[in-house]
């Protein structure tokens, strides 16, 4: 079954076709890579899928075969798509565990009245969310740092903290924008293991934008390659590694197909 489908998606900025007629399908529980050189349009795809930008050049986004294009970001999130950002967005002055808990209010089942009067149901919900947050931190080996200010974490750990926060939404589809940026080899290997574990544990579909080939080739089951806003290849990691269009794009060369 297809979890996330993008059909002939298009987005422009001024005269620039940042994303042009891009189509792909990520299957249930698949780890799907979206790669390409700088400026290829990968982050723009995420921004259109999550409702940050409208697809002004047309196209459709479907989650479990239902259209979600045109929805607001909070609506997309509540349908089950969570994401992390290419530029780290942790709340620097807040503690690690508070950073994870900030997305809990979106899933909380107890309303404002419960929060104001601190009803038993509210306290129960709060406890439940705290347990979930700590469990997610444990996955990323951050539980020992739960009370540390987020700004004191090394860069790689901040990226993992962002993934933990995204998972608090209980998503079906997780979009990761360059999670391995700034990580050393050891951290990237850990990340590979964690991504696979998360997919299995939470039955997630994961779409991964990444430049680190150790991560891309290490975890992705299928890879979609973009260059200058357009699709240039899709296939298995083995197929993508030997695709001449892909190799040329990464080397900055043009291919004459004539
Ligand atoms: N908000 C915006 N306004 C104007 N141009 C934009 C905007 N967002 C993206 N672009 C442009 O669209 C193109 C695609 O950008 P995008 O960020 O999607 O690329 P990317 O594949 O994520 O690149 P990178 O690997 O460097 O993150 C680039 O030329 C970029 O400058
Ligand atoms: Mg990007």
Question: Where do the domains of the chain lie, and which CATH numbers do they carry?
Answer: 1-64+173-180+195-201+217-258 (3.40.50.300), 89-171 (3.40.50.300)
Q: Is the pLDDT of residue 125 over 90?
A: no
Nearest protein Cα to ligand 1, atom 9: 44
Rounded distance, CA 90 to CA 146, Å? Answer: 14
Rounded distance, CA 187 to CA 80, Å? Answer: 28
pLDDT digits (tens, 9 = 90+) for 188-200: 999 999 999 999 9
pLDDT of residue 47: 98
List of residues 6+ apart from 79 with CB closer than 8 A = 63, 66, 68, 71
pLDDT of residue 107: 54
pLDDT of residue 103: 74
The H or E element that residue 116 is part of is helix 112-117
Ligand 1 geometric centre to CA of 54 (Å):
15
Nearest protein Cα to ligand 1, atom 11: 18
pLDDT digits (tens, 9 = 90+) for 15-27: 999 999 999 999 9
Rounded distance, CA 6 to CA 21, Å? Answer: 9
Across 105-116, average pLDDT? 61
Ligand 1 geometric centre to CA of 227 (Å):
11
Q: Given the CA of residue 19, which atom of ligand 1 is nearest to it?
A: 14
Nearest protein Cα to ligand 1, atom 28: 39
pLDDT digits (tens, 9 = 90+) for 57-110: 999 999 999 999 999 999 999 999 999 999 988 999 999 999 999 876 655 555
The preferred substitution site among 41, 83, 177 for testing ligand 1, maximizing ligand atoms within 8 Å of CB, is 41
Ligand 1 geometric centre to CA of 14 (Å):
12
DSSP sequence for 26-69: EETT-EEEEE-STTSSHHHHHHHHTTSS--TT--EEEETTEE-T
- Asked whether the beta carbons of 35 and 225 are under 8 A apart, the reply is yes
Where does the pLDDT of residue 247 fall: very low under 50, low under 70, confident under 90, or very high at 90 and above?
very high
Ligand 1 geometric centre to CA of 17 (Å):
10
Q: Is the pLDDT of residue 258 over 60?
A: no
pLDDT of residue 224: 98
* Average pLDDT of the chain to the nearest whole number: 92
The pocket around ligand 1, CB under 6 angstroms, is made up of 13, 16, 18, 36, 38-44, 86
Nearest protein Cα to ligand 1, atom 27: 38
pTM, 2 dp: 0.92
Rounded distance, CA 50 to CA 52, Å? Answer: 6
Ligand in nearest proximity to the CA of 177: 2
């Amino acid at each position: 079954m297809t979890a996330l489908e993008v059909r002939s998606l298009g987005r422009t900025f001024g005269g620039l076709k940042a994303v042009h007629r891009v189509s792909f399908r990520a299957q249930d529980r698949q780890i799907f890579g979206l790669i390409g050189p700088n400026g290829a349009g990968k982050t723009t795809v995420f921004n259109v899928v999550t409702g940050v930008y409208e697809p002004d050049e047309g196209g459709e986004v479907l989650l479990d075969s239902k259209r979600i294009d045109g929805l607001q970001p909070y609506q997309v999130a509540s349908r089950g798509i969570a994401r992390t950002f290419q530029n780290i967005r942790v709340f620097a002055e807040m503690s690690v565990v508070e950073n994870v808990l900030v997305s809990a209010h979106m899933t909380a089942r107890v309303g404002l009245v419960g929060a104001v009067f601190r009803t038993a149901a509210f306290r129960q919900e709060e406890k439940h969310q705290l347990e979930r947050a700590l469990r997610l931190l444990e996955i990323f080996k951050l539980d020992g740092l739960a009370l540390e200010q987020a700004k004191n974490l090394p860069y790689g750990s901040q990226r993992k903290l962002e993934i933990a926060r995204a998972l608090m939404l209980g998503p079906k589809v997780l979009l990761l924008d360059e999670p391995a940026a700034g990580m050393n080899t050891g951290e990237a290997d850990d990340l590979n293991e964690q991504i696979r574990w998360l997919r299995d544990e939470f039955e997630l579909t994961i779409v991964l934008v990444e430049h680190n080939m150790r991560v891309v080739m290490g975890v992705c089951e299928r890879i979609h390659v973009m260059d200058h806003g357009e699709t240039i290849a899709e296939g298995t990691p083995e197929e993508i590694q030997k695709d001449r269009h892909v190799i040329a794009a990464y080397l900055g060369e043009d291919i004459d197909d004539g």
